[in-house]
Amino acid sequence: MSSMIGETLTDEQGKKWSIGKILGEGASGKVFTASDRIDMEVQDDVEFVIKWDSNKNGNLEGEIKFFQTLASIEEVEQWRKAQGLEFLGMPHYVASGDHHWEEEDHFFLVIPRYGKTLSQFMNEMPDGRLAVEVAVDVALQIIDILQYLQSKGYTHNDIKPENILLGRATSEPLRIHLVDYGLIQEYKESCNRNKANWGTIELMARDAHNGAFPLRGDLESLGFNLIEWTGGKLPWAGKTRPLASKTMFMKTLNLESLYSTPIEGLDTIKSFLEYVRELGHEDIPDYTRCKSILSDGFALGIPLAPKENILVSDTHKKVKTQKRKRPLQEDGVGNLRKRQRTKNSNQENGPIKSQISNCINENQAEKQVVRLPVTTQLLWQRIREGVQKVYSMKIKAIQMHLKSLGQLKKK
């Protein structure tokens, strides 16, 4: 395929777009920088990307239809405001069309441009993983996006660090965007064995191995991601038939055995997976409760600054471990990806038993999830440090006093 740099595309509204450098490439297509200034060369700091499919038989057509009908900037913003959210990392539709190139017709989709992938971000950490509080902050934002998709009747089905992009500004709290909607499905659809094992085998939910995509599936996949992000090794990593191992793990939820060194906060991830485990196939998750389970005990709104040690837990900094580099490959949505997702490989058989949700207490008051700004976090951190210092001084004074009393008794 010859270079497309400088090629001009015309979208459905007649607007022209100029293609810049390639950002990613995979089996499903390519991603390029893009600009609506066709009178000049596309600059590196442009605000848009074009997702270009390899052929018209790919997944991009379905993704375009979803964005056109259910992800306009007006619709995304309206939902965000109705939920009282300060931020929602749901990409919005910009433009789309088709273009004839090298004797073939191709679809293309224009969306906003974001920053590096979560996978790249993790590889910049000293030990290649995130502190639990940072991973939780990312997960809370993912849950907001999943709730948006649920409100439209869909599930994402391919949550992984290569499909999570950071914002381009580094002075803000950590804000993420979930991309790649090529495997999006209507969650009310019945099980389809022809779609079994669609997605990334290692991180997909158990239901997906049987071609089913209920709402609980994305949450279960998010739980598996949380384990990986925080340095855990999934028991089925590297297996081509992982369903039995996943089922056994979800019964026991023995998270401690997945980590080479003890870390704080695993109870939070375990509680989240316990809730997900009790969801039935047709249940609509209580997303507020999911966020409450994860956010309990954490001060969130982590600043995105490369020199901030807060991004790695103290426990991890004390242990010398080899940095876990992830083999990366460019995919068709502009993200560096470690694993190739599979499509219709039919590697697993047997239905997964639907479970009835029995852990939702409607009378329990939900805890409000609060994202603290960076300045507030730092203030509380200083307060905690000051309190700890005062207590330490008082303890030393008491110890000295007791010691002096002991010496007087001896005399």
**pLDDT tens digit string along 141-189?**
999 999 999 999 999 999 999 999 999 876 667 899 999 998 999 987 7
Which of the four pLDDT bands, split at 50, 70 and 90, describes residue 46? very high
Residues whose CB falls within 8 Å of the CB of residue 63, separated by 6 or more in sequence, listed in order: 51, 109, 181, 182, 184
Tell me the angle at which helices 266-277 and 215-229 cross, rounded to the nearest 10 degrees: 160
Whether 35 and 50 have beta carbons less than 8 Å apart is answered as: no
pLDDT winner (highest mean) among 58-62, 79-83, 265-269, 403-407: 79-83
> Which is higher by pLDDT, 203 or 408?
203
- Euclidean distance between CA atoms 230 and 128, whole angstroms: 9
pLDDT of residue 191: 79
Respond yes or no: is residue 218 known to be catalytic: no
pLDDT average, residue stretch 321-346: 48
Q: What share of the chain is helix, strand, coil (3-state, %, to 5)?
A: 35, 15, 45
Place of tokens 């005062």: 390
Catalytic residue among 137, 158, 180, 331: 158
* Average pLDDT over every residue of 264-292: 96
Q: Is 411 annotated as a binding residue?
A: no
Alpha-carbon span 24 to 335, nearest angstrom: 6
Grade residue 47 by pLDDT with cuts at 50, 70 and 90. very high
What is the model's pTM?
0.75
Please give the structure tokens belonging to residue 132.
């639990």
